[in-house]
Structure 1
Amino acid sequence: MLLGHDDGFVRDKDMKVTVAFNRFGPNCIQRMPRIRHGYAHVVNNFYDGWRDYAMGGSMNPTIKSQGNLYVAVGNKEVIWKEDGPGRGTSWNLKSVNDAFINGASFRQVGSAGVSPHYKPDEAFAAGNPDQVHALTRDAGALRCHANGC
């Protein structure tokens, strides 16, 4: 899940995305999601291992991870940052009420005051990590066959 056109597309600074109620893994590699510029609220997702990273980005994104369940299998670090010349140095990465299993870890950086940018009629209450299995029970790839999905 790649969010943002490319590193040079500065209009994506206004991007606001919510990634909610997904099951990622097993056997996912990266980009769950990867954010260029902008803001992402990643809430109540189930991460069942990742090879390179679960979430990452470039160009100073703001990411609020909230109420997610991270189960590390190999790599333990949830976040990947593409640093370097022109890639950004003003990151805002915040974990709120996430659960980390098997040594999973989240390296928080930047502003402590990262909040969703929802209008009042768009806001919703995030579930706790212990509710994630129920919230994502029907999420994931469709199991299709010759007669349909």
Structure 2
Amino acid sequence: GSSSQRRLLSVTARLALSSSSKTSSSSSDEVFKAQNATASDTKPTIFSKILDGSLPADIIYKDDKCIAFRDVNPQAPVHFLVIPRKPIPMLDSATEADVALLGHLMLAAKKVAAQEKLVDGYRLVINNGKQGCQSVYHLHLHVLGGRQLGWPPG
């Protein structure tokens, strides 16, 4: 319907704006997005649209279980996401049957980090739920590197 077309246009416009912008969004923007996202939403996520090809992304790795693509709002010189093709909403939704897939996501992250020449280190982050600042309910690993990262994060 027209409301889903408007949502898609809105998402596409946000993607275009954020990819053309050199500034990163503030922490409060991400918190706002996370507070308004919901795991029970039945609409396709932005990541499922990337997986089905209806939304463009800078895909830098793909195999039969996952894909990796550059974050449209990078928080480090190198910032990409690794997502499973299987639609797992969040880490809390993963089951024992997902153990091999979860391990595969980490090994894919390692492979892409090497491809991106992150030889001095990188960080893997999984945001889980509202207080974990998860804004898209399709499990994803953030991989950040290319500079000295601080501790503690958040």
Do they fold alike, i.e. is TM over 0.5? Answer: no
Higher relative contact order (CA 8 A, sep 6+): 2
| Greater percentage in helix | 2
- TM-score w.r.t. length of structure 2: 0.28
